[in-house]
Amino acid sequence: MEHLLSMEDLSTTEIEQLISRASEFKARKSDHPKYNDTFVANLFFENSTRTKSSFLVAEQKLGLNLVDFETSTSSVQKGESLYDTCKTLESIGVNLLVIRHPNNAYYEELRNINIPIVNGGDGSGQHPTQSLLDLMTIYEEYGYFKGLKVLICGDIKNSRVARSNYHSLTALGAEVMFSSPPEWQDESIGASYVDIDEVINQVDIVMLLRVQHERHHKSEVSTFKAQDYHQQYGLNQQRYSKLQSHSIIMHPAPVNRGVEIADPLVEASQSRIFKQMENGMYLRMAVIDTILKGRKG
């Protein structure tokens, strides 16, 4: 694995290997490799708590040297292109780049960058490490993917998580359904759209998505009513009571409590939201370790 840009670039075998490696790190079944003379830069052009912090902890556990980079104090403010920023970091000896950017498929302009790139999220395109940590969480729960029924609810059109998870879960044999307001549906992904109340008692996993107002037209934001959305598409107590006893709740976070999911359900017994966050650090360790080991080989 040279880069990690999209879930569509990974085979099911590679997905399974990454989950296995992350599980080893989590169980402390192997010593952490130490990349003492290896440098990484995290280029986050969008705000982030979980993804950025998770990468930082993963990198430090692997003994990587972190190169300080903040868009607000970089030459990006002087008009420097993403390509030139990355080429500069490559030239001074950075060995790996983690990038989050608001443009879909930003990495297409980075073809001549000669160091690995890990996609930390591209616009409404893909978020491969989020998908992988979701898969790890699901695998911990069930031990398999084939035949699982997964309902993804919310802002599908603007969600890189929905795209990444649809491709990966479908490839692994799960049945993925979407539930969304008509204006936030995206037929190009290929999943079927269902009424949440018709399937809530049948699914194994219900995954809620954040309403991404920052990607909406101003008119959508001004007319949005959180309470109405919660009643029609959110996970409320009534829907929670209909879940099968083995079913789990997931959310990529940040969570808008009382919008996508009722406040008390965020940490309910069937919720795995904070488990996802925990698994994210180990999974990102596995991704970085796999890429850097491949470079050495």
Structure-token pair, residue 85: 């920023």
Number of neighbours of residue 9 by Cβ within 10 angstroms: 14
Question: What's the distance, Cα to Cα, between the start and end of the chain in Å?
Answer: 11
What is the spatial order of strands in the sheet that 117-122 belongs to? 65-67, 39-44, 96-101, 117-122
Residue 284 counted as an annotated binding residue: no
Nearest to 160 by CA among 79, 109, 101: 101
d(CA 274, CA 133): 11
Percent composition of the chain: helix, strand, coil (DSSP 3-state, to 5): 45, 15, 40
d(CA 226, CA 163): 24
Q: Which amino acid belongs to residue 44?
A: F
Residue 130 counted as an annotated binding residue: yes
Residue 295 counted as an annotated binding residue: no
Residue 50 counted as an annotated binding residue: yes
Classify burial at 57, counting beta carbons within 10 Å of its beta carbon; exposed 0-12, middle 13-18, buried 19 or more.
middle
Residue 51 counted as an annotated binding residue: yes
Structure-token pair, residue 231: 């009643």
134 within 8 A of 207, measured Cβ to Cβ: yes
42 within 8 A of 56, measured Cβ to Cβ: yes
* Binding site residue list: 50-51, 78, 100, 127, 130, 160, 210, 253-254
* Binding site residue list for carbamoyl phosphate: 50-51, 100, 127, 130, 253-254
